[in-house]
A and B are shown apart, each in its own frame.
Chain A
Amino acid sequence: MAMTDTDTATPQMEISDEVAIEIRNMNKWYGTFHVLRDIDLTVHRGERIVICGPSGSGKSTLIRCINALEEHQRGSIVVDGTPLSSDLKNIDKIRSEVGMCFQHFNLFPHLTILENCTLAPIWVRKIPKREAEKTAMYFLEKVKIPDQANKYPGQLSGGQQQRVAIARSLCMRPRIMLFDEPTSALDPEMIKEVLDTMIQLAEEGMTMLCVTHEMGFARQVANRVIFMDDGQIVEQNEPEAFFKSPRNERTRLFLSQILGH
């Protein structure tokens, strides 16, 4: 899928033919409840996808499956050529390629910001501490909070914490980033600073999958918007077309509710 629309603010970026994530016929149940039904999704390197949908539609579960935080029961997920199987080696490989940001940041409160960022590089990537700290400072500067490096998460505002969480993921040098409602636990005035960081990341060509309700962000950054309902992908399209002329009735209803006021 190539970008054609140049009217929007979407920055022009290369999307290669290389496949980053390939999901085929994936199904998941919680007990007897069918949360994800026959999900098919191909993400190319450099693509930025926004997933939206009503709560309980399975969008968070979908991206948590990609990071093996949840186990799917049927179908296949291949990330960067590595199949997600029960082999822990594959799971570890995928997790070190894929970064994840959570709704509630999930920073480690007993570690400083810097330690939060260097922990995984030191213990998982086996990088020397000094080098890991250098990388961490580089990314903290990128998210514009290098001066907070020696504070604890509890001393930072929500927006700052979420930016630290992004930096923490980036320190693992992931090739794909997953965002699980990164702004929905934030006060309105802090949403923008997090979105700015995400936009910056998108402009640098990171492959991104975002579950979010920030439709402005979707318009500006995404090259594909996916609407999910009842555990299924109901509609996907380029943002312009998606917002202008949704084809499915359920999509229309959802968009009217979310954009209506």
Chain B
Amino acid sequence: MTTLSDPPHADGFRLSLLVRDKRYRSYTFQAIALIALFVFFGWLASNAIRNPVLQQAGIDFGFLADPAGYDINQQPIPYTSQSSHLRASFIGAINTLIVAFLACVTATVFGVFAGVLRLSNNWIVGKLMALYVEMFRNIPVLIWILIIFTISANVLPQPSAFRGDDPEASPILGVAALTNRGFYLPRPYFTNGIGAVPDDVPADGGAPVAQEVASIANWLIVLAVFAASFLAVRGVNAWATKRQNATGRRPSTFWTNLGLWFVPIILTLLILGLRWEVPELRGFNFQGGILARNSLIALWFALSIYTGAFIAENVRAGILAISRGQTEAAAALGLRPGRVMSLVVLPQALRIIIPPLISQYLNITKNTSLAIAVGYMDLTGTLGGITLNQTGRALECVLLLMAFYLVFSLVISAVMNAYNASVALKER
């Protein structure tokens, strides 16, 4: 009598068992699959070895240390054309993250607004939002980027238009100038912080490294205060909940929280001596401040408004997915509409909205690679663009480029999985 735990048939091992027997079958198929994979990748590798170009150049990442020899027009950290390709790539990566972060924030704002407004019972607003969503979802994002870039480069005034006694254009509120080269914005700096610069000498682009570090340290202080405020507010809310549980009455926390949010941060900024360096027109161009190139602006705005349309649909679907029954049940229990929203609908809707939202953030990050179409120097523009063309190291550059995006995506996916797991736990 045979059982699953018995050794193979007593009458000996037959070759047909390799395919027929559940125990060996999977090994057989996997062996075949492995052989097929090896043959395929071996074929690719042998082609690569026989390739004359690769034979001559080999695979070598040493070029990263060589001077890049090209300029980058948007430098979040110091860089000259004598810096290495590695540093150029690094700047590209930072630029990628900057525009990705900005676009994620604004896309969320657009998306939530449009999604909620589309559900409003105002007929005309609902239709307008539907128009927005359909229009942006059905036209390639590359076209949007190019259109917005074209507008900013051709419709906005030149810096010289701000000149003269009766200029054709004037800066918004006297501090921010929107020109066809980009947006000139005021730059914040500290006069009393660590490594402070005297008030009358604004730090310029070529600040020494020590000053850069000091400036970062000052911003870290601001961030720390902000985090402390956040924790304090959470503490106050926890206290309020405790009081509510104990006495049945929830103490009003609105003014306390408002104070906790704003008073510490304003004080910190005052103590550090926050000043704004306003861009000034000198000659035919603006000096000082921050210049956000119109390539950045176009990419940022186009990605936000394009992805916003998708997020709007996610938000709408999330809210619609909460059945009417939930709202009615909460209302029947006597909760007021605000509480129905915050206690019943939103917690459930967020659970549905957040996973697709995060994958939209991933899409934004991947779509920032379209920067190359408008000349914004992100990682694809530096490493995958000029560095690749100058050094001819196609294989190495593309590998590094893919590795960067891949790592970033995997990290975000891990975060998303962790979130899903935590939500799933709460469900039980």
Contacts and interface: CB of A to CB of B under 8 A. Distances in A.
Do A and B contact each other directly (Cβ–Cβ < 8 Å)?
A: yes
Interface of A: 24, 71-76, 78, 83-89, 91
A222 B245 CA distance: 59
Contacts of A83: 1-3
B25 A73 contact: no
B147 to A, nearest CB: 45
Q: Which of B5, B17, B23 has the most CB of A within 10 A?
A: B5
B31 to A, nearest CB: 17
Interface in B1-56: 1-6, 17, 20-23, 25
A89 B20 contact: yes
Contacts of A86: 4, 21-23
B6 A85 contact: yes
Which of under 10, 10 to 19, 20 to 34, or 35 or more describes the interface residues of B? 10 to 19
Closest A-B pairs by Cβ, 6 of them? A86-B22, A83-B2, A85-B2, A76-B3, A86-B23, A76-B1
Nearest to B23: A86
B20 A87 contact: yes
25 contacts: A24-B1, A71-B4, A73-B4, A74-B4, A74-B5, A75-B3, A76-B2, A78-B1, A83-B1, A83-B2, A84-B4, A85-B2, A85-B3, A85-B4, A85-B6, A86-B4, A86-B21, A86-B22, A87-B20, A87-B21, A87-B22, A88-B22, A88-B25, A89-B20, A91-B22
Contacts of B6: 85
A168 B18 CA distance: 32
Contacts of B3: 74-76, 83, 85
B375 to A, nearest CB: 52
Contacts of B20: 87-89
A37 B226 CA distance: 61
Nearest to B24: A86
A80 to B, nearest CB: 14
Contacts of A72: 4
A142 B17 CA distance: 41
A22 to B, nearest CB: 9
Interface of B: 1-6, 17, 20-23, 25
A84 B2 CA distance: 7
Identify whether the interface residues of A are mostly helix, strand, loop, or mixed. Answer: mixed
A104 to B, nearest CB: 23
Q: Which of B3, B5, B23 has the most CB of A within 10 A?
A: B3
A261 to B, nearest CB: 31
A210 to B, nearest CB: 26
Contacts of B1: 24, 76, 78, 83
Nearest to A91: B22
A75 B22 CA distance: 17
A227 B297 CA distance: 74
A127 to B, nearest CB: 23
A166 B263 CA distance: 74
A91 B23 CA distance: 13
A71 B4 CA distance: 8
Contact of B21 (A71, A78, A84, A88): A88
A72 B6 CA distance: 12
A87 B17 contact: yes
Given A85-B4, A86-B4, 15 more contacts: A74-B3, A74-B4, A75-B3, A76-B1, A76-B2, A78-B1, A83-B3, A85-B21, A86-B21, A87-B2, A87-B17, A87-B21, A87-B22, A88-B22, A91-B22
A73 B3 CA distance: 8
Contacts of A78: 1
Contacts of A75: 3
A24 B20 CA distance: 24
Contacts of B5: 73-74
Nearest to B6: A85
Nearest to A22: B1
A167 to B, nearest CB: 30
Contacts of A89: 20
A86 B5 CA distance: 9
Nearest to A90: B2
A78 B2 CA distance: 9
Contacts of A73: 4-5
A91 B17 CA distance: 13
A86 B23 CA distance: 6
A91 B25 CA distance: 14
B281 to A, nearest CB: 71
A34 to B, nearest CB: 15
Nearest to B1: A76
Contacts of B21: 85-88
A70 to B, nearest CB: 11
Nearest to A77: B3
A23 B392 CA distance: 71
Contacts of B25: 88
Contacts of B17: 87
A79 B20 CA distance: 19
Nearest to B17: A87
Contacts of A87: 2, 17, 20-22
A91 B3 CA distance: 12
Contacts of A76: 1-3
A74 B6 CA distance: 9
Contacts of B4: 71-74, 84-86
A41 to B, nearest CB: 15
A74 B22 CA distance: 16
